[in-house]
Amino acid sequence: MNAAVPYLDLAAQLRPIRAEVDAAIARTLDNNSFCLGPDVAQFEKDFARFCGAQHCLGMNSGTSALHIALLLLGVGPGDEVITTPYTFVATSWAISYVGAKPVYVDIDATFNLDPALVERAITPRTKAILPVHLYGHPCDMDALLAIGKKHNLPLVEDACQAHGAKYKGRTVGTLGSISAFSFYPAKNLGAAGEGGALVTNDAAFAARAKSLREHGSTKRYHHDEVGFNYRMEGLQGAVLGVKLKHLAQWQAGRRRVAARYAELLAGTPLQLPQQADYAESAWHLYTVRHARRDELKKFLDENGVGNAVHYPMPLHLQKCYASLGYQPGDFPVAERASREVLSLPMFAELTDAQLERVAAVVSGFFHKHP
Ligand SMILES: Cc1ncc(COP(=O)(O)O)c(C=O)c1O
């Protein structure tokens, strides 16, 4: 009987750092800094340094960071934001939360916004471009930034899946005006609960974001504008501070896994993820493609190989966005991807035996169903 291979094994990640995490949690409990506090402040400094950015503001989620980013840019009712239909829904939530309209543009072979299609979607109402570094693979930022510059449109990077990914050697999250990261537990850098961050090089944006996340105030019980309770919890800052020290090593582990999959799966009919020549992926997900995805998924399920579909339905076809009026066929590349993608187990602690087991089951599927 072959052992099951989990899709994700957070316990394996925690085991070697458990004492450090426990100590950080105990420190927070002892100093009672539950909302923001010194551990969050230290993490903000450390994560800003990690990104090579001037400012980082800890938030309670990546969704909140995206929301604040669009508020900072003055996006509001009647405005349009160009974005991808092929992402986790929270990217579009931010646009909806400020009362603006998501305008979708199809993706390219990297699963990211296709820069060649962006310009024709710009209207006088367009206020920003919101690309996503999906699966940890950077967007073609120079192409997008050139369009932004030409039309005077700021870029917000959704870097929620892309901690430490590099575009032409530069860390993503510092290339646009503002970026958002998620520390949802399954992310490359995950909290022990919800968490996120807004990253920017603009001091004025950072100052206003700091106020907006804390009830629109810089002085207690004095509220300059309507704000939010989007503060990062002290416990999350403490846990993230510990985990950030290990991130480089975990990233190396993910690169090892991706490279090993590339060797082990090379002879199969699967379409494997490729890195564009400008990209150093964070390998948040290892997402393969095949026309018979659903059968393959069932086979992996039956044989104890964890897997997931990111994402089965593009956002333009979601019920919540029916009022936007999009139809099936509007974004053929995204729609086809949603039928073909399958994410295989991807985490730093995967052993060679586990990777070989995944590959053996995948090969078994194609032998059984040639
Ligand atoms: C691409 C993308 N955008 C936004 C989010 C939202 O982040 P959070 O779950 O921290 O709100 C996520 C993660 O869940 C994501 O993957």
Give the binding-site residues of ligand 1, using a 6 Å CB cut-off. 61-63, 87-88, 90-91, 132, 158, 160-161, 182, 184, 196
CB-based contacts of 119, cutoff 8 Å, min separation 6: 147, 150, 151
C-alpha 222 to ligand 1 mean position (Å) = 31
Per-position b or e across 219-258, b if 16+ CB within 10 A of its CB:
eeeeeeeebbebbbbbbbbbbbbbbbebbeebbebbeebb
C-alpha 311 to ligand 1 mean position (Å) = 13
Give, for ligand 1, the residue of 182, 194, 231, 285 to mutate: max count of ligand atoms closer than 8 Å to Cβ. Answer: 182
Whole-number Å distance between alpha carbons of 354 and 331: 36
pLDDT-derived band of residue 369, with 50, 70 and 90 as boundaries? Answer: confident
Q: Which helix (H) or strand (E) holds 182?
A: strand 178-182
Q: Is 157 helix (H, G, I), strand (E, B) or coil?
A: strand
Q: Is 339 helix (H, G, I), strand (E, B) or coil?
A: helix
Fold (topology level) of 10-244:
Aspartate Aminotransferase; domain 2 (3.40.640)
Residue 120 gets which letter from DSSP?
G
C-alpha 182 to ligand 1 mean position (Å) = 5
Pairing of strands 166-167, 170-171: antiparallel
Whole-number Å distance between alpha carbons of 220 and 279: 44
pLDDT-derived band of residue 1, with 50, 70 and 90 as boundaries? Answer: low
Average pLDDT over residues 180-197: 98
The percentage of the chain sitting over the pLDDT mark of 70, rounded to a whole number, equals: 100
pLDDT in tens, 334-343: 999 999 999 9
Instruction: Give the residue, by CA position, lying nearest to ligand 1 atom 8.
Output: 62
Token reading at 135: 């699966």
CATH number of 247-368: 3.90.1150.10
pLDDT in tens, 341-360: 999 999 999 999 999 999 99
Domains of the chain: which residue ranges?
10-244, 247-368
C-alpha 204 to ligand 1 mean position (Å) = 25
Average pLDDT over residues 23-46: 97
Token reading at 25: 């949690």
pLDDT of 300 reads: 98
Q: State the closest ligand 1 atom to the C-alpha of 133, by its place in the atom list counted from 1.
A: 1
C-alpha 66 to ligand 1 mean position (Å) = 9
pLDDT-derived band of residue 265, with 50, 70 and 90 as boundaries? Answer: very high
Whole-number Å distance between alpha carbons of 107 and 91: 15
Question: pLDDT averaged over the chain?
Answer: 97
